[in-house]
Amino acid sequence: MDKQEAKLILSSYTLGHEPDDDEKFEAAKKLTENDSELSAWWEEQKSSDQKLSASLKSVPVPADLQSALKLSMADRQRKRLRFIQTSKWLSMAAAVAMAFTLFFKYGIDRSDDYQGPLAQRAFNYSVDGPRLSYMDRDTGNLKNWLAASGFSLPQQLPPKLLELEGVGCRPLEWAENKVAIMCFNADTVYHLFIGSEEDFPNFEASEIIGYEQANEDWAISKWKQDDHLFVLTAKTTVDQMSAYLADYSPSSLSGQL
Share of the chain above pLDDT 90, in %: 30
Three-state SS letters, the chain: CCHHHHHHHHCCCCCCCCCCCCHHHHHHHHHHHHCHHHHHHHHHHHHHHHHHHHHHHCCCCCCCHHHHHCCCHHHHHHCHHHHHHHHHHHHHHHHHHHHHHHHHHHCCCCHHHCCCCHHHHHHHHHHHCCCCCEECCCHHHHHHHHHHCCCCCCCCCCHHHHCCEEEEEEEEEECCEEEEEEEEECCCEEEEEEEECCCCCCCCCCCCCEEEECCCCCEEEEEEECCEEEEEEECCCHHHHHHCCCCCCHHHHCCCC
pLDDT at 69: 55
pLDDT at 84: 55
Choose between 64 and 175: higher pLDDT: 175
Examine the pLDDT at 93 and tell me if it is beyond 70. Answer: no
Choose between 112 and 106: higher pLDDT: 112
Examine the pLDDT at 57 and tell me if it is beyond 80. Answer: no
Q: What average pLDDT score do residues 156-176 get? A: 90
| Residue range 133-150, pLDDT digits in tens | 899 999 999 999 999 998
